[in-house]
Amino acid sequence: MKLRETAVKVLDILTKEYPEAPVTLDFKNPLELLIATILAAQCTDERVNRVTPDLFRKYRTAADYARADPKKFEEEIRPTGFFRNKAKNIIGCCRKIDSQFNGRVPQTLEELTSLPGVGRKTANILLGNAFGRQAIAVDTHVKRVTHRLGWAKSEDPDKIEFELMEVMPPEGWTPACRQLVFHGRKICMAKNPQCPVCPVSKFCPKIGISS
């Protein structure tokens, strides 16, 4: 069976297993999702969701973040880890949004990745989940699951994105990535993957092997 045919079958099964598979970061608009996604680097979504309610009440526009006092802002996001670098990126990112994009989060990959601290993964999360586009966002779960399924070989998330473009049906990239994330969290964990109960185990060439 060709890899793309296998991918279609696997994704059909995952769609039934995780029909909702929402984004697990809390947000109400593109700016909030952008901030939450930057904060989520090397941090759990649960912890980010504990920090963002106060943050989103205080900072409502890109201009608000752009004018933030760096030291004070660092303390506000400290629980998410790597807070100095995240603060620098968020403030710099919002300054550019405020000055060059009229305060609105841009809606193209090229413009998004021109923002400080925004790589392809973050940009694709925005495109797929804030702007309704089809995009492949490669996080640690997507990387691990697609490696085990044999859909991707590269270690570089950006290169994995292009590998998956050749395998996953383009009309369903965004929901497929969310389903792969849920599967990675629930069944295909980094340690002790639950292969005996995995609904797609028969399609996995590395069943029972932790990679």
Catalytic residue list: 121, 139
Question: In 3D, which of 81, 101, 45, 29 has the Cα closest to residue 37?
Answer: 45
Q: Are 90 and 38 in contact (CB under 8 A)?
A: yes
DSSP string covering 160-210: HHHHHHTTS-GGGHHHHHHHHHHHHHHTS-SSS--GGG-TTGGG-TTTT--
**How far, in Å, are 3, 9, 177, 181, 208 from residue 169 at the CA level?**
11, 11, 11, 17, 27
Would you state the structure tokens that stand for residue 20, as one six-digit string?
């909702």
| Helical (H) or strand (E) element with 68 | none
Q: How far apart are the first and last CA of the chain?
A: 23
